[in-house]
Each structure stands twice: as C-alpha cells, then as structure tokens.
Amino acid sequence: MAHPLDALYALGLTAASPWLAWRAFTRKRDGYSRLLMGHACPSRNKTDNAPLAWFHGVSLGEINLLVPVIKAFRARHPNWAIGITATTPAGFQEAKKRFAADSLVACFCWDFSWQVQRVFNAWTPSLVILAESQLWPNWLRIAKKHGVPVAVINGRMSPKSAAAWEKKSWLARKIFPLVHSWMVQDQSMTALLEKLGVPKEAISVTGSVKFDGAKSDKNHPLLTSLRQLFPMPHNAPVWVAGSTQEAEEPFILEAFSKLQATFPELRLILVPRQPDDFEASARRLRERTIPFVRRSTGANFPDNSRPKILLLDTTGELSAAWGLATIAFVGGSLDGKRGGQNPIEPAAFGLPVCFGPHVWNFKDITAQLKQAGGAQTISTTGDVAENLSNCLSHWLQNPEIAQNMGQAARNFVAAQQGATNITLDFLHHRGLTQLAHSNRQAG
C-alpha cells in the first residue's frame, strides 16, 4: 500500500527526471522507471523456516565492510539465512560476487513502500542490519509494522549530515528511535544520537569494522595478475593513487610528471573512485599523450614504449592493488566535495599514506593515523600538484622515513581491530538474535 512518503519521493524523482534520463543515456545508469519500480528480488524457499538476517550496504564501500561482519555472524549463527542488498550498481555487483553462492542478493535502489514490501514479502526477515547510518523512513516504518528490529552497525555521520539532522530534530526524533540498536564508530556519534532522542542503552561505541576487513596479503592471486599486466623493473617504486575524483586527477598527473624527472623508474597506478569516471580518466591520459595500460582492455600505448601508468578501471580490486605500492595517496580529499575515502587499507599494507585536508568522512581515523606517525596531509594552498610531489619526493628520497611511517601505519591498524566482535557482542547483549528468532517462529 502506498504511503504519503511515496508521493514526496515521486515528486522528487519527477523533478530530477531530465537529469536521470541524461544519466541513463550517457552512463547506462538506472533511470526514472527503475528507481520508481525497483529491481526483481529473489524469493526464499517457502519451506525454509530459518530466521533471516537482512544486511544492507548502499555502495561498494559498505558492501566490503560487511564481508567480515557476515562471516563472523555466520560463525556465531550457522542456522541463520542471510540476505544482502545494495543500492548502487557497483555495490550490487560486488555483493553478487562476494555473497551470491550462499546468500540471497538483491538490488534495493529506493525507499518506495512497494519496493520495501517486496523484499519483506520475499525474505520474511527476522533482523535488519544497516551499514553506516543510511536511514530509510519507509523501510523503518514497514520493519516496525512487521515487528522486525533494525540495527545500525559501523554508524557514522559527516558533519554536514549531522548538522542537517540537528536542524530537523523534530524529524530525527520520529525516525531515529525506530532503530532498535546503534553500533557507532566514535563517541561524537553517541552524543548526537542522544541529543536526537535515542536512549543511551541503545548505543554502543564499537570502533570501525573497516579495520577488521583490511587485507595485507601480498601473495594475493590478483596481485600476480596485475604484475603480469603491468610489468615493472625490479625494485621500481610504485605510487598508488586510490579512490580518486575527477577534479583531483590533473593534480595527480602533474605531480607524477614532476616526479618522473627525478625518479624515472616510478610507476603510477591510478584508481578512480566511480565507475562513471573510468572513461574520463582514460580520455585525460590520452589527451596528455601518456602511455598507459588499461586494466579492462589491456595495453593502450604506442609500440616500443613502456607504459608507466596503470589505469585500474575495474571495481573491487583496489584493496589488493595497494599491495603493489611503495607510497599511497587516498583520494576524495583534495576538492572539498567528497570528504575523503578510506585510508585503512593502504595503512594495513604498511604504506606511508597521504591525503588532502578534506577528510570529514574519516575525520577521527585520519587524525589518529597522523598522530600515530603513519600519514601526512597535502595542503591545497598554492600549487597543489607541487605540494603533492614534494611529499612523495621526500618519501622516495628517504626510504627509511617512508618505511618507518609505513610500519607506524600498520601498527595503528592492528591496534584498532576487533570492532566486528564488539558489534556482534552488542547485538547479543541487546537480545536481537533471540528476539529475531522468536519473531520468525511466531510469523
């Protein structure tokens, strides 16, 4: 049954229709009809009476952080069924790759009541677990109607989002208490939730689950594949610029050009954050007449030239590509629009890490990583490319300093691990697995 919220959502989509149509045409992304009607959802076997935990991550990053959580949840609750949904195409594809063999996987792209109800009807979940504070009013309302508890794990909120909720505290006080349990990354989130009407006993500071998912295996099969595609001289330094935004790449390429004069053997692995930006990155390299290898298609360079740049235009491979690096830059942090990306993975590999000043999405983590001596901030005052190249040049000229910073970064990550078990302990403490099982049996 439709709800007044559906009318508001539909009005918003109608207003955005020209942009959605253009995006669907130019980038082969979901258009108006798909967002309105949703995607097909696989159904459970009707004879399966096991309780089901429905995990949701909006994008690729949230799906990746759910990997250690779902693995640990299965170990603790082997009789439970698992369902996973994602919102973005990249997140959905990663969810299918990671979980489709033994879980139900679906694309959940909007909060229309008929989309939400479709999944509840198909899966009859006993527990809903949301990654990182993506709150969906219709979803929370329908979950309450079905008597299904909702938990948020790895909860965080950008300063901009927090300020917006505080301005709309009347709305937050209606929505936030619909979440049964909150497991958040830091104490500042606790203070905000209590201010917005969430009971203190419903909140636990668990740290970030992303530390538990950080890999540091330099023998990963994917690394062998990348080395074969992108052969490098023995001991050649490698700079991985990961999760970059389109506005940052001119600075990165200019910095690389500056560094080449002093370090001719240096290699660059460029990893754009959004699949939508892959073509723009390739075009930018061609316009600069820079020989490069494109991961998706292989070689793309003149005969008799040895490419020094690998464009990693695939999803889900950055976490392994850090294993090829000598030094690391984490994107989304120079232009002030994205708020930074995850610096944990390069730190786990023992790399010295740099990023721009705009890191509010990972404010505490980046501050702690810098305090531990494992990272440095690149200034956006003056010549940004020069600032970036100066930082990297210092590390390349002083490998002992770079190694010490990398070891400090690795030690910091190791010291922060354990959030997954704390999260699952709090779920148990709150009685959610027992309560969910009772709900399933009663239903």
Instruction: Give residue-wise pLDDT tens across range 26-71.
Output: 555 554 455 555 667 888 887 778 999 999 999 888 999 999 999 9
Closest CA relative to residue 397, chosen from 263, 275, 271: 263
Higher pLDDT among residues 405 and 138, named by residue: 405
Q: What is the Cα–Cα distance from 249 to 277, expressed in whole angstroms?
A: 11
> Which CATH number does the domain housing residue 286 bear?
3.40.50.2000
pLDDT reported for residue 326? 97
* 280 and 176 share one domain: no
pLDDT at 274 over 60: yes
In a domain, 19, yes or no: no
Look at the chain and report how many structural domains it folds into: 2
Residues 6+ apart with CB under 8 A from 6: 112, 113, 114, 138
pLDDT reported for residue 316? 83
pLDDT reported for residue 53? 97
pLDDT reported for residue 38? 60
pLDDT at 327 over 70: yes
In a domain, 12, yes or no: no
Q: How confident is the model at residue 3 (pLDDT cuts 50, 70, 90)?
A: confident
* 423 and 411 share one domain: no
* 76 and 158 share one domain: yes
In a domain, 11, yes or no: no
Q: How confident is the model at residue 4 (pLDDT cuts 50, 70, 90)?
A: low
pLDDT reported for residue 337? 87
Q: How confident is the model at residue 126 (pLDDT cuts 50, 70, 90)?
A: very high
Mean pLDDT for the stretch of residues 276-282: 91
Q: What is the Cα–Cα distance from 379 to 356, expressed in whole angstroms?
A: 6
* 337 and 193 share one domain: no
In a domain, 341, yes or no: yes
User: Which of 45-49, 179-183, 284-288, 350-354 has the lowest average pLDDT?
Assistant: 45-49
pLDDT reported for residue 31? 47
pLDDT at 228 over 60: yes
pLDDT reported for residue 16? 53
* 178 and 252 share one domain: no
pLDDT reported for residue 201? 96
In a domain, 16, yes or no: no
Range of the domain at 225: 221-416
Q: How confident is the model at residue 438 (pLDDT cuts 50, 70, 90)?
A: very low
Higher pLDDT among residues 297 and 17, named by residue: 297
The phi-psi region of residue 147 (left if phi > 0; otherwise alpha if psi is between -120 and 50; otherwise beta) is left
In a domain, 255, yes or no: yes
Q: How confident is the model at residue 240 (pLDDT cuts 50, 70, 90)?
A: very high
pLDDT reported for residue 234? 85
pLDDT reported for residue 158? 83
In a domain, 34, yes or no: yes
pLDDT, tens only, 385-420: 999 999 999 999 999 999 999 999 999 999 999 999
In a domain, 283, yes or no: yes
pLDDT reported for residue 176? 92
pLDDT reported for residue 27? 54
Strands (E), 48-103: 52-57, 81-86
Q: Which DSSP letter does residue 431 get?
A: T
pLDDT, tens only, 330-373: 999 998 888 999 999 999 999 999 999 999 989 889 999 999 99
* 401 and 429 share one domain: no
* 199 and 245 share one domain: no
> Which CATH number does the domain housing residue 144 bear?
3.40.50.11720
**Sheet containing 327-330: which strands, arranged edge to edge?**
298-300, 292-294, 309-311, 267-272, 238-244, 327-330, 353-355, 375-377
Asked if 123 contacts 84 with a C-beta cutoff of 8 angstroms, the reply is no
Higher pLDDT among residues 436 and 40, named by residue: 40
CA 257 to each of CA 235, 252, 352, 380: distance values in angstroms, whole numbers, following the listed order: 20, 9, 20, 18
Q: How confident is the model at residue 441 (pLDDT cuts 50, 70, 90)?
A: very low
* 124 and 229 share one domain: no
pLDDT at 224 over 70: yes
Higher pLDDT among residues 38 and 123, named by residue: 123
pLDDT at 21 over 60: no
Percentage with pLDDT > 70 across the chain? 88
Surface-to-core class of residue 28, CB atoms within 10 Å of its CB (0-12 exposed, 13-18 middle, 19+ buried) = exposed
* 108 and 195 share one domain: yes
Mean pLDDT for the stretch of residues 277-285: 93
* 139 and 268 share one domain: no
Q: How confident is the model at residue 8 (pLDDT cuts 50, 70, 90)?
A: low
pLDDT at 442 over 60: no
* 243 and 292 share one domain: yes
pLDDT reported for residue 251? 98
* 334 and 278 share one domain: yes
- Across all residues in the chain, what is the average pLDDT? 88
